């Protein structure tokens, strides 16, 4: 067995369709480094962080040290490439979500939604300034689109308003569910131009006058992620801090479609984490005189969890191939997100059922954490129903959103 094969077997024993075989050896080495970092640093504390709704204070900084956008390991044997492979990006999200979905979400907000807003929405000068700092984790960002009264209908329902006054803008409104805004250095805030009624995006800092941020409390899922409310009261932003290439909802949709695949990836990693947690439990738990892993009904549910995972991994691998060729579209990403989140919800329910009463003890058993977090994955980056309507529109030619 080669070094690469041995590392893959160690990292992903659940990969029964050998999806990971197409990773390069350098990519596998970096994935192992990330996995080892998570296991050594946070395995003993992750459940407590979830229960106490605390983010490991050094997680973001330490993850940036892996240089996952530009690490030389990612370009061994593919020296002509300018970006990490899509397959690596799948497995990076998968690996972190397999450990914890909240930690994967924190990365996805920064590296996906936030970073891509600057990458796609910035002028040449803005991209040159912000993107390297975001990629290295020198700066941390998020994505301030949704509002207290607008989530799924945000494309036609933005109430946050930006008014041009001379060489600056004045922004008023509110945002809700913005993950990590309280710890971000720069926040891309979407608002409607009061004159043109078109959306714009502005770079705002949490410390600016008129910006008020508070963390949502009492969540039952993704408790490690600090989701926030943002209130904007006459916040002044210069034209230089307006991302110049965000001028329509199509521009915003481009960011969302680029990251929706990432949620499908996280959902798949969550299935792997739930399967691992359940397997660990059933080999230790005894009932009626023997380990419950030896009972037929338990094995049938484990087999279903493995089957769901295999299908989801295959979907992600194909989506990664399509993205690498520029052939993916909103239907492909919506299908992957919708189905993988649905299968995640099904899998964690089976795992929770297998673990019985212990499966609701989030401080002691991992499955409770995955069970709860699946509910958030099922809803965010387009609810099940909204993604279904995207697919239905393509199938019928009829939009049924309203």
pLDDT tens for 323-353 read 999 887 889 999 999 999 999 999 999 999 9
Which alpha helices (H) appear in 65-207, and where do they start and end?
Answer: 86-99, 101-107, 115-121, 124-135, 154-157
Task: Label residue 155 by pLDDT band (50, 70, 90).
Answer: low
Task: Label residue 47 by pLDDT band (50, 70, 90).
Answer: very high
Cα dihedral sign, 380-383-388-389:
negative
Give me Rg for the CA atoms of the chain.
21
Q: Is 285 helix (H, G, I), strand (E, B) or coil?
A: coil
Asked if residue 92 lies in contact with residue 11, where contact means CB atoms within 8 angstroms, the answer is no
CA angle 105, 109, 41 (to 5 degrees): 45
Sheet bearing 199-204, strands edge to edge: 199-204, 187-193, 161-165, 168-179, 227-238, 211-215
Q: Is the domain of 236 the same as that of 255?
A: no
State the CATH number of the domain containing residue 219.
Answer: 2.40.110.10
**Averaged pLDDT of the chain:** 95
pLDDT in tens, 176-188: 999 999 999 999 9
Q: Is the domain of 160 the same as that of 128?
A: no
Q: For position 258, what pLDDT does the model report?
A: 79
pLDDT in tens, 193-240: 999 999 999 999 999 999 999 999 999 999 999 999 999 999 999 999
Q: Is the domain of 386 the same as that of 259?
A: yes
Q: For position 146, what pLDDT does the model report?
A: 92
**Active-site residue set:** 381
> Among 241, 265, 294, which residue terminates a domain?
241
Extended beta strands in 239-334, E state: 286-287, 290-291
What is the pTM assigned to this prediction? 0.95
Residue 60 counted as domain residue: yes
Mean pLDDT value across residues 149-176: 89
> Among 204, 221, 241, which residue terminates a domain?
241
Which residues constitute the domain of residue 40?
13-135
Choice among 72-81, 206-215, 313-322, 362-371 with the minimum mean pLDDT: 72-81
Q: For position 24, what pLDDT does the model report?
A: 96
């Amino acid at each position: 067995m080669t070094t690469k094969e041995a590392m893959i077997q160690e990292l992903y024993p659940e990969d029964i369709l050998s999806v990971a075989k197409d990773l390069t050896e350098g990519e596998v080495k970096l994935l192992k480094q990330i996995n080892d970092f998570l296991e050594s640093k946070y395995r003993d504390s992750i459940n407590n962080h979830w229960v106490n709704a605390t983010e490991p204070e050094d997680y973001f900084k330490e993850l940036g040290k892996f240089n996952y956008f530009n690490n030389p390991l990612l370009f061994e044997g593919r020296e002509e490439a300018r970006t990490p492979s899509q397959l690596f990006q799948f497995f990076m999200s998968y690996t972190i979500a397999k450990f914890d979905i909240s930690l994967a979400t924190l990365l996805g907000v920064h590296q996906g939604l936030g970073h891509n807003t600057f990458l796609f929405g910035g002028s040449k000068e803005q991209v040159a300034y912000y993107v390297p700092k975001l990629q290295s984790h020198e700066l941390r960002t998020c994505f301030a689109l949704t509002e207290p009264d607008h989530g799924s209908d945000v494309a036609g329902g933005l109430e946050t308003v930006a008014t041009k006054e001379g060489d600056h803008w004045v922004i008023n409104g509110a945002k809700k569910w913005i993950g990590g805004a309280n710890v971000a250095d720069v926040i891309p805030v979407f608002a409607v131009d009061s004159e043109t009624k078109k959306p714009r995006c502005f770079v705002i800092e949490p410390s600016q006058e008129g910006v008020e941020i508070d963390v949502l409390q009492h969540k039952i899922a993704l408790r490690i992620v600090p989701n926030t409310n943002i209130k904007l009261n006459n916040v002044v932003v210069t034209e230089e801090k307006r991302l110049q290439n965000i001028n329509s909802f199509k521009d915003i949709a481009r960011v969302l479609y680029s990251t929706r695949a990432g949620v499908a990836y996280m959902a798949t990693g969550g299935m792997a984490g739930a399967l691992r947690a359940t397997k660990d439990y059933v080999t230790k738990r005894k009932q009626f005189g023997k380990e419950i892993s030896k009972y037929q009904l338990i094995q049938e549910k484990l087999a279903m969890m493995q089957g769901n995972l295999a299908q989801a991994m295959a979907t992600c691998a194909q989506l990664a191939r399509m993205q690498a060729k520029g052939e993916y579209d909103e239907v492909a990403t919506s299908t992957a997100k919708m189905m993988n989140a649905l299968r995640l919800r099904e899998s964690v329910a089976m795992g929770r059922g297998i673990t019985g009463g212990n499966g609701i003890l989030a401080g002691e058993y991992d499955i409770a954490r995955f069970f709860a977090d699946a509910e958030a994955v099922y809803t965010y980056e387009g609810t099940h129903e909204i993604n279904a309507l995207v697919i239905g529109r393509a199938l019928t030619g009829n939009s049924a959103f309203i």
